Amino acid sequence: MSQPTISKVETFKYCVGWVDWVFVKVTDSDGRHGWGEASLHGPITPVLAAIDAYAKHLVGQEAFGAERHWHRLYNAWRWRGGPVYMTALGALDIALWDLEACRLGVPLYRLLGGPHTKALVGYASHWLRDVKTPEAAHAEARKIVERGFKGFKWSPFDFELLRTDLHGSMALARDLMAAAREGAGPQAEIYIECAELLSPRTAPMMVDAILPYRPAWIEEPFAFENAAAIARLQSEISIPVAVGERLLSRYEFRELLENGGCRVVQPDVMHCGGITELRRIASLAETYEVMVAPHNPGGPICMAASMHLAASIPNFLVLEQIEPDRPLRERASTPPPVFADGCFHLTDAPGLGLEPNFSALDAYATGEIPRHERSGSLFH
C-alpha cells in the first residue's frame, strides 16, 4: 500500500497590528492537512520566500516523518540557521507533526511522548505594558489575578529615565513593583521583562531594588547574544535569569547552559526550528536542571503547538499568554483553547486540536507592522 505524499504547501498572512501572523498549511495526497505558524516580529517577506523554497523540497515526498524532513530541510543549503530560515523551518515542522498526528487520529502530545500534564500553568504577558504609576500598577495587577492568572509578566522600567537618572529609575521600579505585589497578593508570580534595557552594571542594582517584592525571574536583562555576561549575572543574583526567545537552535543554547547562564530557558517553537528542535533544547536543558517556559507570542497555531510541546516535556515550568491578544486569538481558533483555574487545558482532539478561523481575521488581511526603534545605550 502506497503512503500519502505531500501535495501542497500554502501560506496565509495577516497583520494584527504589532506582528504578522503567518499560517502554513501542508496538505497530503489523501486530502489531510496540518497547520504550522511562522509569525515573526519583523519583515515577513523573506520568511515567506524561505517557506516557498523549502516547499520545493517537500512536495512529492512521503508525508510522514517530521524529524526526517527537518534534517533534510535544515541541511538543504550550505547556509542555514538565522531567524528567517529557522522560522520557515519551524512552521513546516509544526505542520508536519500536526499532519502525522491527525493521520493517526491522536493528539499531538501523544506522538511526543506525553502528556506529563494536560493542565498547563499560564501567565499573562504584556498586560501592564502601559502602567506608569503605582496606583495603576496596583489596579492592573489585581485585575489580572481576578481574570484567573496565577502570575503575570511586565517591565517596571522606564527606558528614558534609565538613560538619564539611574537611581530615579530604580526608585520608580521599586515603587511600581511594591504596588504590583500588593495588588497581586503574596501568592502570584511576577515575572520581570527587562527587554535588554539593563546592562551588566545596572542589572544587579535593579535586582536589589525589586528583590523584596519576590520577582520570579528577570528576563533578557541585556543582549541575549552575550552568554558569558548573562552567566556572570546569574552567578551574582539570587533570582532566576530567563532567556532564550531569540536563540534559534540547541547549538545556541548550549553555550548558555554550559556556562550556567540561566535557570529558565524560553525557546520559541516558531523560531527555534519547530517542535523537532525545541524537544532537543528541552532535553538539553533538563540535563542542566534548567526549566523551560516557552516563549509564546504568536497566533492560535503557535499557542496550540506550545501547549502540546509543554505537556510532553518533564521540565516545563509555565506558558506565556499575551493577554491583550487573547480575544482575537480565540476568535481565530476553532475551538479556542480552554483556560480555567490558572491553567490552559489540552483536549484529546487529534493533532493540534484546532483549525484557524480566517473569517475572524478578514480585517487584518492588509497592513504593515510598525518599525521598532530604540536609540542610545545604557553603557555609560
Instruction: Write the pLDDT tens digit of every residue in 122-131.
Output: 999 998 888 9
Give start-end residues of each CATH 3.20.20.120 domain in the chain. 110-351
- Measured in degrees and rounded to the nearest 5, phi and psi for residue 292 equal -120, 125
CB neighbours of 328 closer than 8 A, spacing ≥ 6? 16, 360, 361
pLDDT of residue 371: 62
Q: Are 115 and 141 in contact (CB under 8 A)?
A: no
pLDDT of 376 over the 50 cut: no
Whole-angstrom Cα Rg for the chain: 21
pLDDT of 377 over the 50 cut: no
Higher per-residue pLDDT: 343 or 19: 343
pLDDT of residue 380: 37
Higher per-residue pLDDT: 164 or 371: 164
Is the preceding omega at residue 335 within 30 degrees of 0, hence cis?
A: yes
| Average pLDDT over the chain, rounded to an integer | 94
Q: Are 261 and 288 in contact (CB under 8 A)?
A: no
- Report residue 266's pLDDT band, with 50, 70 and 90 as the boundaries: very high
Q: Are 127 and 152 in contact (CB under 8 A)?
A: yes
- Measured in degrees and rounded to the nearest 5, phi and psi for residue 209 equal -70, -35
Q: Pick from 253, 317, 262: which is nearest to 291 by CA?
A: 317
- Among residues of the chain, what percentage have pLDDT more than 70? 97
pTM of the predicted model, to two decimals? 0.95
Instruction: Write the pLDDT tens digit of every residue in 83-118.
Output: 999 999 999 999 999 999 999 999 999 999 999 999
pLDDT of residue 370: 64
Give start-end residues of each CATH 3.30.390.10 domain in the chain. 6-106
Average pLDDT over residues 41-54: 93
> What span, in angstroms and rounded, lies between the C-alpha atoms of 354 and 360?
14
Q: Lowest-confidence range among 49-53, 230-234, 361-365, 366-370?
A: 366-370
pLDDT of residue 58: 97
Q: Determine the residue type at 69.
A: H
Fold of 110-351: TIM Barrel (3.20.20)
pLDDT of 379 over the 80 cut: no
pLDDT of residue 9: 98
| DSSP run (H or E) holding 52 | helix 45-58
pLDDT of residue 160: 87
Average pLDDT over residues 263-270: 98
- DSSP annotation of 165 reads -
Best CATH choice for the domain 6-106 from the list 1.10.1580.10, 3.10.50.40, 3.40.50.150, 3.30.390.10:
3.30.390.10
Q: Determine the residue type at 290.
A: V
- Report residue 40's pLDDT band, with 50, 70 and 90 as the boundaries: confident
pLDDT of residue 374: 52
Instruction: Write the pLDDT tens digit of every residue in 222-238.
Output: 999 999 999 999 999 99
> What span, in angstroms and rounded, lies between the C-alpha atoms of 91 and 275?
9
